[in-house]
Amino acid sequence: MKIEVLGGAREVGGSCIAVETDSGKIALDYGTKLDGEVKKLPKDFDAVIISHAHLDHSGSLLSLSKENPLIIGSPITREVTGDLLRDMIKIQNEKGNFDFDNSQADNIDGCWHTSDSFAVHGMKIQLQSAGHVAGAKITTIQAEGKKVVYTGDFCFHDTEILQGCKYETIPKKPDVLISESTYGGKVRLPRNELIDQFLRQLRFTMKNRGNVLIPTFAFHRSQEMAKRIDTAIDAGVLPRYNVYTISNLANRITGYYNRNKQLFTKEIKQQNSPFNYRHVKHLYKTAQIQEPAIVICTSGFGHAGASLRLLAEWADNKNNSVILTSGYLPPDSPLKSAKENQCFKTAEGETISVKADVQQIELSGHADQLELIQLIAKVKPKRTFLVHGDIEQAEALSEKIQEMTDVCIPKEKEIISV
């Protein structure tokens, strides 16, 4: 068996790993780079397994449209991937890039096999829940007497809406564990302390009648954030306030969440339409906002859309705040610049200085260093390949686990025999 990391080697973005035996070849994920670039990846796969719908794991599927690939993933991964691909095409077309249109996304929709257990060319494939986002899976491949486990993006910790991955479900002592390492060098505060910080920041700004901008991804983070604020207002933990989501894409995904509540926590399953919020309103346009307000909107990194517009509008007022809930921000992100340099550039190239309080509170859906070490300690892999993490993060993790497993941080296109 041979394993080749085709994307997501020593970086976050463009995840794709080829697993090849004498009789078959499978891709684990088929993602775009973080800037949305569709990667030129090999196309000769017998099946493509998509761990979850985030575009850095699924976006390059568009380039496979003519091949009618066999795509394996969970039902909600299929639904959300279709929507995210169409959204990506729309954004690219607006930029004048017409490489793809909706016909390719429609074609991809018809290529899925949504089962947790599958065999292709002598390779036995099994999927288990990974935490991270709704529908995310950990993949196990067994072939030629070898066992390979791929984490995709995962976390062990529970969030308010989703249970974390249960390590009992991950097959033990694999020959190779391919693990994400996004936060390989980082230990986060316990989740409840982060939530307290988040609610404190909201209360503080609400007291000053300021606006709060929460840039998020349309998929999962938006629903998690809206549900958290809705529940807090309902319980009297936060005062009543104007709270909005602005993203048609997020609104559509919220619909899937209501129809698939069996994917979520016990509390969510018991509610009727858990994602029909009582105190959070969906708006179509920023012009409909009644200030002061808390606004959850896209894009998650502030590159475009309502989040960039509201950042430009609200940055100048020290009573306003911006809450970044992602730990990772790409180097060219306006939000990163707003946080680190107290200024950023608008789409028109205007530089705006930032007086608003920009806080980063990492309510991440990824495992942190402690969870990653726990994964190695419980699963006991013979060899571990670290992917989906900047080299500093992967190296920091490697140092912590090298006495438990044989660690490798593969380079792109490095072929490793198993």
Residues that bind Zn ion (CB under 5 A): 54, 153
Q: How far is the CB of 393 from Zn ion (least distance, A)?
A: 15
Residue 311 and residue 333: Cα distance in Å, rounded?
12
Q: How far is the CB of 388 from Zn ion (least distance, A)?
A: 9
Residue 383 and residue 210: Cα distance in Å, rounded?
51
Contact 161, 227 (CB under 8 A): yes
Q: How far is the CB of 57 from Zn ion (least distance, A)?
A: 6
Query: DSSP label at 368?
Result: -
**DSSP secondary structure, 255-302, as one string:** HHHHHTGGGS-HHHHHSSSTTS-SS-EEES-GGG--SSEEEEES-TTS
Residue 346 and residue 353: Cα distance in Å, rounded?
11
Q: How far is the CB of 78 from Zn ion (least distance, A)?
A: 16
Residue 250 and residue 71: Cα distance in Å, rounded?
24
Q: How far is the CB of 158 from Zn ion (least distance, A)?
A: 17
Query: Could you identify the residue written with the tokens 């486990």?
Result: 149
Nearest Cα neighbor of 3 from 14, 16, 19, 15 is 19
Q: How far is the CB of 56 from Zn ion (least distance, A)?
A: 7
Query: DSSP label at 15?
Result: -
Residues 6+ apart with CB under 8 A from 340: none
Q: How far is the CB of 51 from Zn ion (least distance, A)?
A: 8
State the sign of the Cα–Cα–Cα–Cα dihedral 340, 346, 349, 355.
Answer: negative
Query: Could you identify the residue written with the tokens 């060319």?
Result: 121
Residue type, 247: S
